[in-house]
Amino acid sequence: MPRITAAEGQAETLVLRWDSGAESRFPWFWLRDHGQDPDSLDPATLQRRVDTFALDEAIRGEDCTILEDGHALAVVWPGAAEPQSRYSADFLATMAGLLPEAIAAQPGRQPRLWSAAGGLPDLETVPYGEVGEGKPGLRRCLEQLQRDGFVVIEGAPTDEASARALFNHFGYIRETIFGGLWSLSAEMTEHDDTAYSTQYLEPHTDSTYSHDAPGLQCFLCQEFDGKGGESILVDGFALAEEMRREQPENFQVLCEVSVPGRYIEPGVHLRTERPAIRLDGARRLQQVSFNNYDRAPFLLEPARMKAFYRAYKDFHARIVERGNWLTIPLRPGMALVFDNWRLLHGRLGYTGKRVFCGCYHNHEDFESALRTVA
């Protein structure tokens, strides 16, 4: 862990030197705003107690002391009534970019992107009996979800109550227009959607019409008596990264053009829009959204429209390339959980009877589970 070896107060900043030889600068105002002592920060909830907006813009520390052999720092602020602020060296090093951020879901662990080019992952199923409170299976599921974007659980009971209990381990089940735990079969007629049919379903992400598309999607195969119907998974992050390398102009267009999605049935009209590829502030992939069935009309000026169609077609060609597909024949008792912000899913056409139930979770709850369970 980094140790502070020297601290030097300057007009605008405090300069810290680290045992690695690195140097970091912290504005005085920022330091006053980020004290970790109980007067500045609630120790249990980590909610801020400092009144940021009452602070003097020109505040400057009067004195500072390196504590605990370089593992902590204290700053004394001017005025007798002003408290002293304390900081751990780990916190300051993290903020300075010298340590991975603990707020990242599973800091230090990178997703393992997969495609035809880089190789597809093996199917490492997790036995149902291991997925429960305090058992190692849930941690394995979350690790595989973070690494590959999906996990398959085998040997699960096929009744709805057991399915609900299983899926509740990943976060609370989200209520949508399809219900909490929904059923899916070609015999159902409540929702007039392509998913409720026997035909081939092209890989897509769900809920391109939702402002906050579900983060995890869960399926449990309850009955299957027929042929075909394999689930298709595609790693949208891997394909987006390939496009970023091979066709950067197309990648950029898909990061910029907002694509509307819609869902319409009697009494329901959902609609939102976002780019097919969403990045964070550091231009890392955050979410892919692709569902040509649910795309709503939009019109750009002709050159931009043409560029969009070219880029969208490029992405689509990568998505429907069979070599990029992982196909999983889900049979009764098999559950599939996957990251709907990263993976696209589809299904081969089938004959016979196929009954599934499933549900959604919010992405933030999945990320919370990654931070707290795994």
The site for Fe ion (CB under 5 A) is made up of: 206
Cβ distance to Fe ion smaller for residue 163 or 232: 232
Minimum CB–partner distance for residue 337 and Fe ion (Å): 14
In whole angstroms, give the CA distance from residue 133 to residue 49.
Answer: 35
Which residues neighbour 285 within 8 Å (Cβ) at sequence distance 6 or greater? 237, 240, 241, 277, 278, 279, 342
Cβ distance to Fe ion smaller for residue 74 or 186: 186
What b/e string do you get for 161-191 counting C-beta neighbours within 10 Å, with b at 16 or more? eebeebbebbbebbebebeebbbbebeeeeb
In whole angstroms, give the CA distance from residue 106 to residue 367.
Answer: 8
Minimum CB–partner distance for residue 224 and Fe ion (Å): 18
Cβ distance to Fe ion smaller for residue 73 or 181: 181
- What is the three-class DSSP state of 140? helix
Minimum CB–partner distance for residue 258 and Fe ion (Å): 21
Report the 10 Å Cβ neighbour count for 289: 28
Minimum CB–partner distance for residue 176 and Fe ion (Å): 12
Minimum CB–partner distance for residue 195 and Fe ion (Å): 5
Bridge-based pairing state of the strands 126-127 and 150-154: parallel
Report the 10 Å Cβ neighbour count for 134: 5
Residue 13 · residue 27 · CB < 8 Å: yes
Minimum CB–partner distance for residue 206 and Fe ion (Å): 4
In whole angstroms, give the CA distance from residue 327 to residue 216.
Answer: 18
Cβ distance to Fe ion smaller for residue 206 or 314: 206
**Percentage helix, strand, coil for the chain under 3-state DSSP, each rounded to 5:** 25, 30, 45
Cβ distance to Fe ion smaller for residue 206 or 242: 206
| Nearest Cα residue to 247 out of 302, 312, 299, 298 | 312
Cβ distance to Fe ion smaller for residue 263 or 312: 263
Nearest residue to Fe ion on Cβ basis: 206
Cβ distance to Fe ion smaller for residue 33 or 230: 230
Minimum CB–partner distance for residue 111 and Fe ion (Å): 21
